Amino acid sequence: MDVPNVKRQFPKVSELAPLLKFTGPTLHRKEQRLANAVTIWDLREIAKKRTPQGPFDYTDGAAESEVTLERARQAFLDLEFRPNILRDVSGANLERQSLGENFKMPVGIAPTGFTRMMQTEGERAGARAAEKYGIPFTLSTLGTTTIEDVVAAAPGGVNWFQLYMWKDRDRSMELVRRAEAAGVKHLMLTVDVPVAGARLRDVRNGLTIPPRLTAKTLVDAIPKPEWWINFLTTPGISFASMSSWNGTVAELLDFMFDPTMTFDDLKWIRNQWKGKLTVKGIQTVDDAKRAAKAGADAILLSNHGGRQLDRAPVPLHLLVDVKRELKGDTEVHLDTGIMHGADILAAIALGADFTYIGRAYLYGLMAGGQQGVERALEILKVQMIRNMKLLGVSSLEELEPSHVKILQTHQGLGKLPN
C-alpha cells in the first residue's frame, strides 16, 4: 500500500482564525465601489449602471458604425512592448514638460461637451481632480460650467479653454477674451467640426439638452435614482458659451459649427491670441505641416474620439510620420482610444509630446463625481508606473521607439526610426 504524501488532521482553531476574516458592511459605499474598480473599463461598467442611457450613450458612442473609435483602441492593442531587463527602476518619474509648463503626468483632460449632463459635478470635478494630480484641464466651448467658475473651482490648477469657431465670429472671440481675462494662457482650437458627425445613438435616444422627462427616460431612471435626484435638485444645465438651449444635440452642433472655416481663419486666430495655441483635430501629415506653418505651438492628432468622420484615420497610426515631418519644431499631441496607462506610454515612446483622455475621465465622473475622476487618474498613474518599470525605464525621456513594436495587424503606421 502506498504511503500518503500528507498526513490528515483536524484543523486547529488557532490556524483557522487568521483565515476567517470577513469584510463587514460599510457606510462609504461610493468609496468602496470606486476602490473595487481597477481599470478604466471597470469604471465604465459602474458608469453604465448609474447613468441614464441618453447621457451614457452620448459619452460612450461614436459616429455611424463606431468603427473609428474601435480602430483607435485596437491600434494600442496591436502594439508589442520590448522591455529592457536588469535596469535600476527603483523609481519612476512621470513628469512631463509641455508648452512651457511642467506636469506630473504626460496626460491632460480633453475638452468634453455637456459634462454636467453626465454627472452633476461636471467640469468642476474634472478641474479639481486635474489640479490634484498636477495635469491640465481643458474646458470645452460646449462645457456646462463657465470658464470663470472652472478657474475659481481650481485656482491652483492649469486651466485651458477649447474653442469652436462659430458662424458668429464676434461671439467666438468674446469667449476667448473671457478666457484670457480669467487667466487662461492656452487656447485649443478644434478644427474637425464643419458639421456634426452622425452620432446614431443620440438620434435613436432622442437626446436633448437638457434631457427631457419622457416616459422612456422615466422608466430608464428607476434603477438610477441618484442621477435624477442630482439632476432635479441642482442648478439647471447652462453652457460656457450661451445661456440656454432647447433642442437636440445635433441641432445645437449644426447651429454653432462654421463650415466656412479655413486656414486663413486659423492664421487670424493666431494673430488674435497671444498665448499658446494648440490645433485639435489634425488627421493628415499635410494638415499637420500647414497648421504648424500657420503658427500652432502644438498640433493634436485627433479624430474627435471617433465622433465625427466614420472610418477616419487613427491618430496613433499618424504619429511617427507627423513627428518626423515636424522635426521637433512644433509639439505633437495625441488623443482618442486611450484606456490604459500603457497606451499613454506607447504614444510617448513613438514620439508624442503629450496625450489627452476624454471618455476615460468621463467614465470616472459618471461612476463617482470628483472621486471617480481621481480614481480614473490614479488607475492610469499606477498603470504607467508599473509598465515603465517593467519596460526597464525610470523616466519618460528614456522611452524610445525601440520599446514598441507595431504588429502587422494594421498597415500604414509609418516606418519607425532605428
Beta bridge partners of 395: 93
* Residue bearing cell 416616459: 215
Separation of alpha carbons 400 and 345, rounded Å: 10
Q: Rg of the chain over CA atoms, in angstroms?
A: 23
Contacts of 193 by beta carbon, 8 Å cutoff, 6+ apart: 164, 253, 257, 281, 304, 308
CA 250 to chain centroid, in Å, comes to 21
Q: What is the largest distance, in Å, between two alpha-carbon atoms of the chain?
A: 96
Separation of alpha carbons 306 and 5, rounded Å: 60
Strand 186-190 relative to strand 107-109, pairing: unpaired
Is 317 an active-site residue? no
Cell of 183: 487667466
Separation of alpha carbons 314 and 292, rounded Å: 20
Annotated active-site residue in 304, 317, 333, 403: 304
Contact, 74 vs 338, CB < 8 A? no
* Residue bearing cell 472671440: 173
Whole-Å CA distances, 357 to 94, 202, 368, 379:
16, 21, 17, 13
Q: Is 415 exposed, middle or buried (0-12, 13-18, 19+ CB in 10 A)?
A: exposed
Is the dihedral angle over the CA atoms 322, 353, 331, 177 positive or is it negative? positive
CA 399 to chain centroid, in Å, comes to 22
Element (H, E) at 233: helix 225-233
DSSP per-residue codes, 290-314: HHHHTT-SEEEE--GGGTSSTTPPP
Contacts of 327 by beta carbon, 8 Å cutoff, 6+ apart: none
Contact, 259 vs 192, CB < 8 A? no
Separation of alpha carbons 65 and 189, rounded Å: 26
> What residues act catalytically?
304
